[in-house]
Structure 1
Amino acid sequence: MSEWLAAAASPQVPWSAMAVALPLAAALAASVSLRLAQALVLPVSLLAIAVGLGAVLQAASHDATVLAVGGWRPPLGIALRNDGLAAAFTLVGALVAAAALGFARGPMREGPQRRAWAFWPLCFGLVAALNAAFFAADLFNLYVALELLTICGVSLVALEGTRAALESALRYLLFALLGSLSFLLGVVMLYAGFGSLDLGELRRLGATQPPAPAAIALVAAGLMAKSALFPLHGWLAPAHAAAPAPASALLSALVVKAPVLVLLRLGFEVFPALTGPALGQLLGALGALAIVLGSLLAWRQQRLKLVVAYSTVAQLGYLLLLFPLATGAARAEDWAATAWVGVALHALAHALAKAALFLSAGAMAEAVGNDRIDSLAGLGSAMPLAAFAFALAAVSLMGLPPSAGFLAKYLLLVAALASGQWWWAAVMLVGGLLAAGYLFRPMARLLADAQPVLQRDVSRARQTLALALALAAVLLGLGSAWPYRMLAAPLEMAP
């Protein structure tokens, strides 16, 4: 076993390339035959998890591993960079995708053939685009990955074909296109200024020749639009509400995370000199507004999927709190590394918990025929697995021990207090209380003394998939020592 682990951790193993090629090949194969597409779900999911584990082992053993695709070194060729952050999200993404695709096999088998035929290639393509974005080591290929991600995401939202789905998909597309245009203009300006788009080269050149602030502002605005960061979140909730539950799980858990991670990489790895205290406080204020307003919007909703969707707006706000806690002179302080790991763990825990929430909400909505909170009365006794999955995922989202969500928020609280910025700690505490409020409301209906009217049976196997993700969010908190060390590696680009 030790020899196998050592071999898997070798920098010569192209885990990053396999993480992109495997789902891409599955997407091409799934477009040939619907039966083949459904048959591919289990083997591709298991292989993707194995590749994710291999990438994690490699990242834990080496600071960063750069793979030159085709043997051409950057800046001429395509490079894929595996580090702790990319590997962790690849593994978590594989787990979320496996659960979402497994959950979808029943409804997609019974639904219209046109919808089922499109669903599988789009999901496999979405996972390939995600992994390409996580591992991309240059801005051009990052742009290509984000565009493929947008195409797959918009198509999944429109898949139901209803008026609401098409309107939501169009709104998502408009936001994404504006984000793409802004991002691309910023990339063009960076290339004009530096003559390279390789992230390592940009970091080296940017240390002596700061980039044009307009270029960075355009890139940041584009990424914020694609990730639905406040105040560019207008497309997110309608898109999640209109998409099938498995697609909503992928969108909320993974798709909105990729642009945020790119934004964090650019701000802390590539151009750290640009993220000064003033900009950090501004981005932190946007994050605080997202936490409070997103929570209040979630509290007002009467549909379960909209509650879960607006909670994503709130939870993404925590990621922006990294900027005031780790920019400028604070970057050299111990609390900056604590804040970085806290944000990374929060993103990972949110991915697992939010996917579990959407899958359990989808199972309950399928059982009663709608997702109105009033219709959930007494459903906890009829669907205990789905109800327990929802409650366990809510524990992580609220930041209660022993979940990974608790550890992430605790690390951010420690960083805020250590840096003397107590107001961010207050925002986090208020956010936790608001999260408890909007999540306890559907949980109270689930536990109500009532007899639910079930319109169809949802298998225990499908409910168990949601429970598995919720358990993973808790286990990540219990066994966080190794992920902590891997994510706390120095924020330096590989040469």
Structure 2
Amino acid sequence: MVPVDGSVALWVVLGLPLLLGALGGVARPARGWPVAAAGLLPLLALAWLFSEMSGAAGLSWEIELGSLVLYWRLNGLALLLLLLTYLIVYASALYTPAYLHEDPQRKPRSQAWFWPLLGLLTSSLSLIWLAVDLLSLYLGLELMGLSAVGLMLLTGKIHAMVAGLRYLLLALVGSLAFLLGVSLLLGAWGRLDLAGLSQAAEPGALLWVAMALLSAGLLLKAAAFPLHAWLAPVHGSAWIPVSALHASLVIKASFFIALQLWLLLVPEAVVAAWAIGGMAAGAVIWGGVKAWRAAKLKDVLAWSTVSQLGYLLLAFPLLIGTDSDVAALAWEGTWLQLAAHGLAKAAMFLATGNLILATGETRAEGLAGASRRFPLSLLSFGMAGISLVGLPPSMGFTAKWLLLNAALTGGHWPWIAVLGIGTLLSAAYVFRIFHFSFVEDAPEHEFHPVPWGMDAIALLLALSALLLGLAAEWPLALLRSAEGGS
């Protein structure tokens, strides 16, 4: 156990985004270079925290707040998720000044609020990745949810307000369910730390009711099928960098918590895990079909997120109650899929934002002729699509290969079918966008190319999702060190 007072790097990683967000709200940067310079500081703080591990399997801390004790830990999985968070937040922050400058409907006051909310979102996500007690996780969830809702409302449009307030209401319902589950666990066993609960909790009706409440609240926040109806309207009305952050990071936090709780508290709940597997199948197929048929570009990406989350939900039947070989493959594939989807979906949203700003079109059919005028944006979209579909050499391919091997090793044929159908549907909606883009007999429109930096940010994220499949051994080594949720 490392004394928390001795880990300055931990507090810097959690607190620096809040400070930078407050400074951004005051300064309101109109160019990317101040954001680029300031954004390097959290990455350096994260490198400092990495160095404190010094090759150890992990670090843990106890934070005493009067009679309350909070438990935090840093292991390979937390490191991977912290790095993913900081990279995507950095890219979105770099993209935002140019995006707001190009957006004719921007509001200066909204820009001022963007930066503090972004800082709060980053710190709350970092807390969730580090926390191993239910109180810290609840605090992280609430702060993340409030900052995400605030970011969604920044456009100030009526439909954005309606979608954002609906999102807030459903998030509060999810929080209430989560809090009720926490109260049951605390009342029954008097503990909030996950390690202690895993030892003290006894199978029975009370544990199942608590887990049902916790899972329902978290799956609602994660937009898991069939609790996903709020997602498309929210993404359709939000700023592009906000949608990128939400799809690539925010909904993943709830999934992360849910899977950790299941592995620690109900590791043999096979029937319930297969029920969630059924939800995964519904998400992959229904989300893929809706993405394929969606008319608006942002709706394509929103329904794609619903579908891709289904691959993560397959972790429940592949990890719960299976043998060690299946669980090891599923553990690595699940978190690699989360990282691959995060990078690819952020790149897709930014590339789509570039196309919308350049063409003035929000519908997929409006991209006719874009292949000649905006090849870089389409290249970024296509490379991110390669990872979403799961084609080599992308990280998405490596992740799905591991999930497929886990299903094959365990003889779980339904999940093999889900992976195959999902791959075909992903290819269908990605290539549908390219079909419209390469229509050459479309009438000429007045195009307005975006600054090169906006294209460059989307391209770098897409390249990361594509090429990290060739360097997957490093994240896999981190995941093996944290295997089993330790």
Partners in 2 of 1:485 and 1:473 — Cα distance?
18
Cα separation, partners in 2 of 1:153 and 1:27, compared to 1, 3 Å: same
Identity of aligned residues (%): 38
- Secondary structure in 1 matching 2:73: strand
Does residue 347 of structure 2 align to residue 356 of structure 1? yes
Other-structure match for 2:332: 341
Cα separation, partners in 2 of 1:80 and 1:190, compared to 1, 3 Å: same
Other-structure match for 2:218: 223
Other-structure match for 2:311: 318
Partners in 2 of 1:321 and 1:492 — Cα distance?
16
Other-structure match for 1:8: none
Other-structure match for 2:385: 394
Greater Cα shift, 479-488 or 393-402 = 479-488
Other-structure match for 2:274: 281
Cα separation, partners in 2 of 1:266 and 1:57, compared to 1, 3 Å: farther
**Deviation of 1:492 (Å):** 5.3
Say which of 124, 132, 140 aligns to 1:137. Answer: 132
**Deviation of 1:41 (Å):** 2.2
Say which of 44, 51, 54 aligns to 1:50. Answer: 44
Partners in 2 of 1:344 and 1:24 — Cα distance?
27
Partners in 2 of 1:153 and 1:120 — Cα distance?
12
Alignment of 1:161-180 (within 5 A): 161-180=156-175
TM-score, normalization: structure 2? Answer: 0.93
Asked if 1 retains the 8 angstrom alpha-carbon contact of 2:32 and 2:95, the reply is no
Other-structure match for 2:292: 299
- Residue type at the aligned position of 1:389: S
Partners in 1 of 2:11 and 2:205 — Cα distance?
32
Partners in 1 of 2:443 and 2:84 — Cα distance?
37
- Residue type at the aligned position of 2:179: L
**Deviation of 1:99 (Å):** 1.0
Say which of 188, 194, 212 aligns to 2:189. Answer: 194
Asked if 1 retains the 8 angstrom alpha-carbon contact of 2:331 and 2:483, the reply is no
**Deviation of 1:276 (Å):** 1.7
**Deviation of 1:121 (Å):** 1.2
**Deviation of 1:465 (Å):** 0.1
Other-structure match for 2:111: 116
Cα separation, partners in 2 of 1:493 and 1:350, compared to 1, 3 Å: closer
Cα separation, partners in 2 of 1:426 and 1:385, compared to 1, 3 Å: same
Asked if 1 retains the 8 angstrom alpha-carbon contact of 2:181 and 2:213, the reply is yes
**Deviation of 1:44 (Å):** 3.2
Alignment of 1:421-460 (within 5 A): 421-449=412-440, 450=442, 453-460=445-452
Other-structure match for 1:478: 470
Partners in 2 of 1:44 and 1:206 — Cα distance?
45
Greater Cα shift, 75-84 or 298-307 = 75-84
Greater Cα shift, 470-479 or 77-86 = 77-86
- Residue type at the aligned position of 1:32: V
Asked if 2 retains the 8 angstrom alpha-carbon contact of 1:14 and 1:67, the reply is no
Cα separation, partners in 2 of 1:59 and 1:183, compared to 1, 3 Å: farther
**Deviation of 1:157 (Å):** 1.3
Cα separation, partners in 2 of 1:18 and 1:357, compared to 1, 3 Å: same
**Deviation of 1:472 (Å):** 0.6
Say which of 64, 73, 78 aligns to 1:81. Answer: 73
- Residue type at the aligned position of 1:480: A
Partners in 2 of 1:318 and 1:485 — Cα distance?
21
**Deviation of 1:32 (Å):** 3.2
**Deviation of 1:488 (Å):** 1.8
Partners in 2 of 1:148 and 1:82 — Cα distance?
20
- Residue type at the aligned position of 1:97: V
**Deviation of 1:47 (Å):** 1.9
Partners in 2 of 1:318 and 1:246 — Cα distance?
24
Does residue 357 of structure 2 align to residue 366 of structure 1? yes
Cα separation, partners in 2 of 1:257 and 1:403, compared to 1, 3 Å: same
- Secondary structure in 2 matching 1:31: helix
Does residue 9 of structure 2 align to residue 18 of structure 1? no
For each residue in 1:297-333, what CA deviation from the matched residue of structure 2 results, as whole angstroms up to 9, or x when unmatched? 11111111100110000000111111111212x1x42
TM-score, normalization: structure 1? Answer: 0.91
Partners in 2 of 1:167 and 1:267 — Cα distance?
34
Alignment of 1:203-222 (within 5 A): 203-206=198-201, 212-222=207-217
The CA RMSD over aligned residues, in Å, is 2.3
Partners in 1 of 2:76 and 2:202 — Cα distance?
24
Asked if 2 retains the 8 angstrom alpha-carbon contact of 1:59 and 1:84, the reply is no
Asked if 1 retains the 8 angstrom alpha-carbon contact of 2:32 and 2:98, the reply is no
Cα separation, partners in 2 of 1:12 and 1:377, compared to 1, 3 Å: farther
**Deviation of 1:370 (Å):** 2.5
Other-structure match for 1:7: none
Partners in 1 of 2:444 and 2:246 — Cα distance?
30
For each residue in 1:210-244, what CA deviation from the matched residue of structure 2 results, as whole angstroms up to 9, or x when unmatched? 96211111011110111111111111111111100
Asked if 2 retains the 8 angstrom alpha-carbon contact of 1:31 and 1:117, the reply is yes
Alignment of 1:22-33 (within 5 A): 22-33=16-27
Say which of 177, 181, 184 aligns to 2:179. Answer: 184
**Deviation of 1:425 (Å):** 0.6
**Deviation of 1:79 (Å):** 3.1
Cα separation, partners in 2 of 1:57 and 1:394, compared to 1, 3 Å: farther
Partners in 1 of 2:485 and 2:386 — Cα distance?
35
For each residue in 1:380-438, what CA deviation from the matched residue of structure 2 results, as whole angstroms up to 9, or x when unmatched? 22122211100000000000000000010110100101101112111100000001001
Asked if 2 retains the 8 angstrom alpha-carbon contact of 1:86 and 1:134, the reply is yes
Asked if 1 retains the 8 angstrom alpha-carbon contact of 2:164 and 2:234, the reply is yes
Other-structure match for 1:65: 59
Cα separation, partners in 2 of 1:272 and 1:123, compared to 1, 3 Å: same
Greater Cα shift, 374-383 or 398-407 = 374-383
Asked if 2 retains the 8 angstrom alpha-carbon contact of 1:284 and 1:321, the reply is yes
- Residue type at the aligned position of 1:311: S
Other-structure match for 2:88: 96
**Deviation of 1:158 (Å):** 1.3
Greater Cα shift, 31-40 or 473-482 = 31-40
**Deviation of 1:19 (Å):** 2.1
**Deviation of 1:200 (Å):** 1.9
**Deviation of 1:18 (Å):** 2.4
- Secondary structure in 1 matching 2:401: helix
- Residue type at the aligned position of 1:271: L
- Residue type at the aligned position of 1:258: A
**Deviation of 1:13 (Å):** 4.9
Greater Cα shift, 199-208 or 125-134 = 199-208
Partners in 2 of 1:211 and 1:20 — Cα distance?
35
Asked if 1 retains the 8 angstrom alpha-carbon contact of 2:163 and 2:237, the reply is yes
- Secondary structure in 2 matching 1:77: strand
For each residue in 1:37-83, what CA deviation from the matched residue of structure 2 results, as whole angstroms up to 9, or x when unmatched? 977522332122233444456568222211334xx399833332111
Say which of 205, 217, 235 aligns to 1:240. Answer: 235
Other-structure match for 1:3: none
Partners in 1 of 2:341 and 2:444 — Cα distance?
30
Partners in 2 of 1:298 and 1:247 — Cα distance?
20
Q: Stretches of 4+ moved more than 6 A in 1? A: 36-39, 207-210
